[in-house]
Structure 1
Amino acid sequence: MSYDLVIRGGVVGTSEGTFAADVGVRGGRIVGIGTDLATGAAELDAKGRFVLPGGVDSHCHIEQMSAAGIMTADDFESATASAAFGGTTTVISFAAQQRGMDLRTVVKDYHLAARRGAMVDYSFHMIVADPTEEALAALPELIGEGHASIKAFMTYDRIRLEDEQILDLLAIAREHDATVCVHAENHGMIAWMSKRLLQDGKTSPRYQPASHPRESETEAFQRLIAMAEFTGHPVTIFHVSTSEGAAVVREARERGVRVTAETCPHYLLLTEEDVDKPGIEGAKWCCSPPLRSKSDQEALWEALRRRDLQLVSSDHAPYAWDETGKLKNGPNATFKQIANGMPGLEARQMLMFDAMISQGRMSIADFVDLTSTAPARHYGLFPRKGAIMIGADADIVLWNPERSHTLTAATLHDRTGYTPYEGRTVRGYPEIVVRRGEIIVADGDLRATKGSGTFLPRGAGFA
């Protein structure tokens, strides 16, 4: 058998374990795994490297306008270039409806933007912020076209849905086999607490974590899970940030509720102390839900080990460090006027490899599962994505486990202008990245062409 590409002499990693093998690629797919494979038209020496599936980042805000009218710094070109440099070969972004927008037009416009710029493969969650009769009527067709996940917000004034509206989405998703993903925080608690902090003159970014009470997460989780039980349809909870939130998910799963949940590197590696900076500086670390405590970090790591939480995404929300993004409302903006979100698409895999493998918290199998295989399974991309197996797309990353790299705004490739991990050194680096059999990153150079990413239509996947 002849191959277009052979990756030779490495240690292959899957969600089940590791083994020494060569990997043969033909026609953009993996067609051979074994020893002493025949010669390929091109070959990569993977000696001393882990050969792992490309990362699947299932929560990325790309070329998206926030409800407050602030555009993310990254378009599909820059976001997916940074994804590639970080070892991520598939992203699920959002087709974000705002109030008054036609949902079909929204999805069409995001497709056009992605086709212009994407360099890795991509899919979309549909954000439904205005569930009119017309929008709800459009969902079955859009789901059938491969957009089999819907996101709803339980907070934010301009886009949040009431319980009855979320029930409508769950009913449609149940009938047409789609996943419902939710940003779950109690809006009333956040609004009440924010008002009192501002009245007391506590307006700077350092007070943003206090404006999102811990109980706002647990209450919203419990309410959402009750809706899932009532409708008989599973839910996915985005960005779990607290120990109590993880416990609510665990208890629900133990009693048989079909709920899946994710967390993000910033909740595992940063804390509310990072927001406590003078002046406006803390705005760099403002996100929702906010950063929490060291004890929450420990609880979230344990929840990942137990698989109470099943996914790790970046929640890449790259608002630039200038007047177009974080500083749009000036240097004296209150925490309520600051765009919530941080960049993380490129750094996600390096941070998690370092924290899980280099620091000994978990295994290669865990790393592959949480950052590639599980998100691919959950969102209907497996077995095409998220695994090194016969028939899968040849999305492969050669990781040097001994190579150290310092994360700085200058060394990353997004357009945010800062990183919340400035100066952090990680061990473990994605040296060569292959997408569908094509080398797209090598020797520090991007080789992918603009617009070469492919849309991935999806079914609902697995709860």
Structure 2
Amino acid sequence: MEFDLTIRNGRITTSKETFFADIGVKDGKIAAIAPQLPAAAKDIDATGQWVMPGGIDSHAHIEQFSGMGVMCADDFYSGTVSAAFGGTTTIIPFAAQHKGMRIPDVLADYAQRARSKAVIDYGFHLILSEATPENLQSDLVQAIADGVTSLKVYMTYDALKLDDFQLLDVMEVAGREGAMLMIHAENHDVIRWIARKLLASGKTAPKFHAVAHDYLAEGEASNRAIALSRLLDVPILLVHVSATEAIDVIRAARQLGSKVHAESCPQYLFLTAEDLDAEGLEGAKFCCSPPPRDPRAQEAVWQGFQDGTLGVYSSDHAPYRFDTTGKLPKGEATTFKEMANGVPGIELRLPLMFSEGVLKGRITPEKFVQLTATNHAQMYGLEHCKGDIAVGLDADIAIWDPQLQRTITWSDLHDNVGYTPYEGKQITGWPVTVISRGAVVVQDQQLHAQPGQGQYIPRRCPQPLLNNPLQPQPSSAARWLGLKGKAWSGQA
């Protein structure tokens, strides 16, 4: 067979093993993996380099209005370019339905924004803020059928939160239709009560954002979300998990067979609440929800990744500029309650984990692939085409120089945010060549992709990642109402 592209002499890591071999690419797919393949016209010598699947970032906010009405700093061009330079070849950002919007209109608008700008492949999650009968029984069902097989709901934020009754309605539809339900789990009233007390006593600085978003608010809401999902026997995924207590709740539920999955993000490994206590309003640069915690929580997140309690590692890239268009809507008078929540990280997600996880021995290279690509593909219905290095899958590949040392500075990155919370951090390892569907998109720190080159990928119903043979006793409601998700009856 004649190949369009070959990658030779590299150290290949898949989700299961590491070995030396060559890769042959034909028509955008991996066509062969074998020793000593003949060179193609486009041949990459990967001697001394590590060949891994391109990353999948399944939690990123791109060209999206927040619940506070603030537009992200990154559109689909800058966001996907930044992702590609960091070794990511597929992103799944959020088409956000705010109150009063129809789901078909939201998805059509978001698709139009992405179509002419994205340089790598993408899919969409749906943010659902209104659990009306029309949304749930008609528009949401159609969106899932059209390949938007995951949705996100919030247990906090005035403009977005659903109450428990509404969450049960959404869980019923997601379970029946085979969609993954992502949940932002924090106790809204706990946060609101603490924030009111802080503001009333004049405590307005960024550091008090972390105080208001107490770890107990995350732990309680996580436990409640799991209980609701057990009531209907449907799977959920708790996003951006940060607190030791939440991780313990998730681990215990999984050990008992509950269908709960969880993700965490770079900010919970490499930032702490002390970063929010910077001079003046500088701490707003580290303000996200949930907030960074403390070294104890960081170690709990590492342990969660190591033992499988946390199955996916995403960026939660939420890019807001450090000015009145983003973080500081009221300038110097902005309180912690008014600051846009979120930190950038789409380009640094993989290099940070590679340097501090793989090269420092906290996780194996195979675990790195699972956390950054394979598990995302399985969790979100992309396993038929992406997420690993195997014959027949898309040739989405990142080639890493494991010895390249860099000092992080925003001027070297490619987003539109204007700062990075990881400024000055030294890391080792960087993806020097990035390939999307067989086409080189980044090489030698140069972009080789055009706006619109990325393709929308409709997704299939996801597959569960639970490996515990235990099955919790179904609730009486689930039994009497006949509630059983059509795509979730088995365990992987």
> Which category of TM-score, normalised to the shorter sequence, fits these structures?
over 0.9
Letter in structure 1 aligned against 2:411:
A
Residue 207 (structure 1) shift: 1.0
Residue 248 (structure 1) shift: 0.4
Match of 2:336 in 1: 335
DSSP 3-state at the match of 1:331 = helix
Match of 2:133 in 1: 133
CA 1:399–1:435 in 2, change beyond 3 Å: closer, same or farther? same
Match of 1:154 in 2: 155
1:202-221 matched pairs, under 5 angstroms: 202-221=203-222
The answer to whether the Cα contact below 8 Å between 1:280 and 1:332 also exists between their aligned partners in 2 is: no
| Distance (Å, rounded) in 2 between the aligned partners of 1:215 and 1:206 | 17
The answer to whether the Cα contact below 8 Å between 2:96 and 2:126 also exists between their aligned partners in 1 is: yes
DSSP 3-state at the match of 1:170 = helix
The answer to whether the Cα contact below 8 Å between 1:85 and 1:346 also exists between their aligned partners in 2 is: yes
Q: Deviations over 1:369-413 (max 9, x none)?
A: 101111111111014111000001000111000001121110110
DSSP 3-state at the match of 1:3 = coil
| Distance (Å, rounded) in 2 between the aligned partners of 1:372 and 1:335 | 34
DSSP 3-state at the match of 2:157 = coil
Match of 1:462 in 2: 463
Q: Deviations over 1:319-343 (max 9, x none)?
A: 0122211122211210000000000
Aligned-residue Cα RMSD (Å) equals 0.8
Match of 1:73 in 2: 73
- What TM-score comes out, normalization by structure 2 length? 0.93
Match of 2:35 in 1: 35
Q: Deviations over 1:67-116 (max 9, x none)?
A: 11111000000000000000000000001000111111001100000102
| Distance (Å, rounded) in 1 between the aligned partners of 2:160 and 2:363 | 38
Match of 2:83 in 1: 83
The answer to whether the Cα contact below 8 Å between 1:237 and 1:262 also exists between their aligned partners in 2 is: yes
DSSP 3-state at the match of 1:245 = helix
Q: Percent identity?
A: 47
DSSP 3-state at the match of 1:172 = helix
- What TM-score comes out, normalization by structure 1 length? 0.99
1:120 paired with 2:124, answer: no
| Distance (Å, rounded) in 2 between the aligned partners of 1:28 and 1:303 | 35
Residue 117 (structure 1) shift: 0.7
Match of 2:58 in 1: 58
Match of 1:376 in 2: 377
Letter in structure 1 aligned against 2:439:
E
Letter in structure 1 aligned against 2:272:
T
The answer to whether the Cα contact below 8 Å between 2:323 and 2:331 also exists between their aligned partners in 1 is: no
The count of corresponding residues between Structure 1 and Structure 2 is 463
Match of 2:476 in 1: none
The answer to whether the Cα contact below 8 Å between 1:177 and 1:459 also exists between their aligned partners in 2 is: no
Residue 38 (structure 1) shift: 2.0
Residue 60 (structure 1) shift: 0.4
| Distance (Å, rounded) in 2 between the aligned partners of 1:270 and 1:282 | 11
Structure 2, unaligned runs of 5 or more:
465-492
Match of 1:302 in 2: 303
Match of 1:222 in 2: 223
The answer to whether the Cα contact below 8 Å between 2:328 and 2:338 also exists between their aligned partners in 1 is: no
1:346 paired with 2:347, answer: yes
Match of 2:45 in 1: 45
Residue 303 (structure 1) shift: 1.1
Match of 2:472 in 1: none
Structure 1, unaligned runs of 5 or more:
none
Match of 1:244 in 2: 245
| Distance (Å, rounded) in 2 between the aligned partners of 1:354 and 1:157 | 38
Runs of 4+ in 1 over 4 A off after TM superposition: none
Match of 1:97 in 2: 97
